[in-house]
Amino acid sequence: MRVTKRGNTYQYDFYYKGKRYRKGGYLSKKLAMTAMSLKHTELVEGFDVGQKISFVQYYKHWVEVTKQNQINEKSYQRYITAINVFEDCFGQALIEDINILSYRRFLKKYGEGYYCNNGTLRPRTTNTVSKLNNCLRQAFESAIDQGLIKVNPTKNAKPLGFKASQVVDEKFMTLEELKLLLKHVKGKKHLSYLCIFILIITGSRFRPVRELRYEHLDLENSTIFLDDRKNKYSQRKIKVPLDDLKYISEILEAHPKNQNGYIFHNKVNFISYKAVNDVLKNFCIQNRLQHYTLKSLRHTHCSYLLAQGMTIQYISKRLGHADIHTTLTIYSHLLKEYEDAEDESLIHHLQGLSDS
């Protein structure tokens, strides 16, 4: 089984039971490899793309080939949930019978709270609807590459929820609160405090910090390696102050080094989210602050970078987002505030130009 480049496109080429299978025209090597894997799976399991098939049937094969054991469990379960919701609405409808109008109606009803709800109508957030749409959209795009359909039913769909999301400014700390938290955790040798310190300076999600290894700390280049395992951009080295890296090393020297190489592991289990979050929770209670979670530290990190004038492209890359659209969606409220502030600054400068 191989993928080769021909001109500006790629093709796959392999033999199965003495018969040759070859197809080209794919715009990237990854698309060609995915198509080849799907075709091989179809042949092995007796699944023929030339026959009329349901979207549910195709989706399950697609997930098995492209997602299973390749993404983290939480993300994988999101793909499983998506097809369960879809099947609750469309059943075993043929993939070619799903059109743009019926799909948009389905997406709207899902936002309103229908499907997989145990008989209780519970409106969903726009973020939840968007995640479901993203899972299904990818599979439909793959079906187009396979020649099963010509139009993606999810094209230009606008996910809309009917449950209010938590306002972003309720999720992040003020600069004064952040400095107070840093002062609280620094100098304490318990690893829960160190974990919070690293979350603050990196803006990382909890999991990649929890799974940090000693070799991920690079004092020579002042970087920390993080891997969310959420997308191809999740593996990244991010810059942090050298003094902060030295502080981390000093705290670690006070603890026996784990033979398995993990920093936050006690030879049996990784440090738990609850244990670390309880440190933050108690800090908030002691200082009479509103309730913050570990995720608030990530939002605070982004807010601080925006306030320092960092570009959205840089922030997106540092946070490990798949693209800037993800960053723009999550932090649109914050971006609007900084945009308004920039408008006021521009007016001030233009007035100064006119007065001179």
Judge whether residue 102 has pLDDT over 80. Answer: yes
Q: Are residues 17 and 110 in the same domain?
A: no
Q: What is the mean pLDDT of residues 111-129?
A: 88
Q: What is the mean pLDDT of residues 197-213?
A: 94
Q: Are residues 284 and 298 in the same domain?
A: yes
Judge whether residue 255 has pLDDT over 60. Answer: yes
Domain harbouring 309, CATH code: 1.10.443.10
Q: Are residues 34 and 61 in the same domain?
A: no
Q: What is the mean pLDDT of residues 57-67?
A: 88
Q: Are residues 231 and 261 in the same domain?
A: yes
The Cα–Cα gap between 232 and 322 comes to: 7
Q: Are residues 131 and 23 in the same domain?
A: no
Judge whether residue 73 has pLDDT over 90. Answer: no
Q: Are residues 184 and 295 in the same domain?
A: yes
Residue 21 lies in a domain: yes
Model pLDDT, residue 342: 60
Tokens representing 107 are: 């997406």
Tell me the average pLDDT of the chain: 85
Model pLDDT, residue 197: 97
Judge whether residue 351 has pLDDT over 70. Answer: no
Residue 351 lies in a domain: no
Tokens representing 262 are: 């993990």
Residue scoring higher pLDDT (306 or 275): 275
Name the domain count of the chain: 3
Judge whether residue 198 has pLDDT over 90. Answer: yes
Model pLDDT, residue 47: 55
Range of the domain at 108: 49-165
Residue 356 lies in a domain: no
Q: Are residues 190 and 319 in the same domain?
A: yes
Judge whether residue 49 has pLDDT over 60. Answer: no
Model pLDDT, residue 55: 94
In order of 112, 194, 303, 330, the CA distances from 249 in angstroms are 50, 10, 27, 33
pLDDT band at 304 (very low <50, low <70, confident <90, very high): confident
pLDDT band at 34 (very low <50, low <70, confident <90, very high): confident
Virtual CA dihedral for 265, 268, 272, 274, nearest 10 degrees? Answer: -140
Q: Are residues 32 and 53 in the same domain?
A: no
Sheet of 223-227, strands arranged across: 217-218, 223-227, 235-239
**Closest Cα to residue 192, out of 273, 71, 115?**
273
Q: What is the mean pLDDT of residues 164-186?
A: 79
DSSP-assigned letter for residue 54: B
Q: What is the mean pLDDT of residues 296-307?
A: 87
Judge whether residue 19 has pLDDT over 60. Answer: yes
Lowest mean pLDDT among 4-18, 92-106, 276-290: 4-18
Q: Are residues 142 and 81 in the same domain?
A: yes
Judge whether residue 163 has pLDDT over 90. Answer: no
Model pLDDT, residue 50: 60
Model pLDDT, residue 337: 56
Model pLDDT, residue 212: 95
